[in-house]
Amino acid sequence: MRLDHQAIKRLKAHDNPTFEKIYDETKRGVYSIVFSVTQSHELTQDLMQDIYMKMLVKIDQYKIGTNFFNWLMQIAKNHAIDHYRKEKKVSRIDDEHIQHLSSTYHDIPDESDRFEQMMDLLEDDERMIVLLKVVDERTHQEIAKIMDKPLGTVLWVYQKALKKLKEFGGDVS
């Protein structure tokens, strides 16, 4: 997604239709990035509002002709990580806890609990890549640009994450 001079001017002038179009085209990607860090739907929604406000404040820093989506994803990623560092509420799950989740998984009927448990199994980069690929339907090349990582690394991390999810009993493609 590239924005031209006119779209930038409309955003600066707080043109709602332009903002809504950009929001509709980018919200899934922003959500995926933020959720991969926060692992909380509620917190992700709150941070998304902040991110879009930050985007409007920083619109002068966007270089016309470059990929707007990647620019916005970088803002989202940085904002989510900054929040994580401040709050330190997200904790990593140790291997013993992962085994416990695997053994008790079948007793949990709620799909949202299942999804959150599956996401908890993954490291931060794995979670972000899986969400961008599966939820936002981004290509591996797009994910590599968003995350500023080599394509080979993204492919390797994605495969590693899929293996973890399959071992857990998840069906991700």
Range from 59-68, 81-90, 97-106 carrying the lowest mean pLDDT: 97-106
- The CATH number fitting domain 95-168, selected from 2.70.70.10, 3.30.70.260, 1.10.10.10, 3.30.470.10: 1.10.10.10
Q: CATH 1.10.10.10 residue ranges in the chain?
A: 95-168
Give the pLDDT score at 170.
54
pTM > 0.85: no
Give the pLDDT score at 105.
43
Q: State mean pLDDT over 110-135.
A: 79
> Which CATH class name applies to 5-87?
mainly alpha
pLDDT band at residue 172 under the 50/70/90 scheme: low
Amino acid at 98: I
Token output for 62: 């966007």
Ramachandran category for residue 65: left, alpha or beta (phi over 0 → left; psi -120 to 50 → alpha): left
Q: State mean pLDDT over 108-119.
A: 64
Please tell me which residue, 169 or 27, carries the higher pLDDT value. Answer: 27
Distance CA 157, CA 151 (A): 10
Token output for 95: 């291997």
Token output for 76: 């989202």
Give the pLDDT score at 91.
42
Mean pLDDT for the chain overall: 80
Q: Are 73 and 56 in contact (CB under 8 A)?
A: no
pLDDT higher than threshold 50 for residue 108: no
Give the pLDDT score at 50.
92
The per-residue pLDDT for range 16-59, each reduced to its tens digit, is 899 999 999 899 999 998 998 888 888 999 999 999 999 988 98
Count CB atoms within 10 A of the CB of residue 127: 22
Q: CATH 1.10.1740.10 residue ranges in the chain?
A: 5-87
Ramachandran category for residue 14: left, alpha or beta (phi over 0 → left; psi -120 to 50 → alpha): left
Residues of the chain with pLDDT > 90, as a percent, come to 18
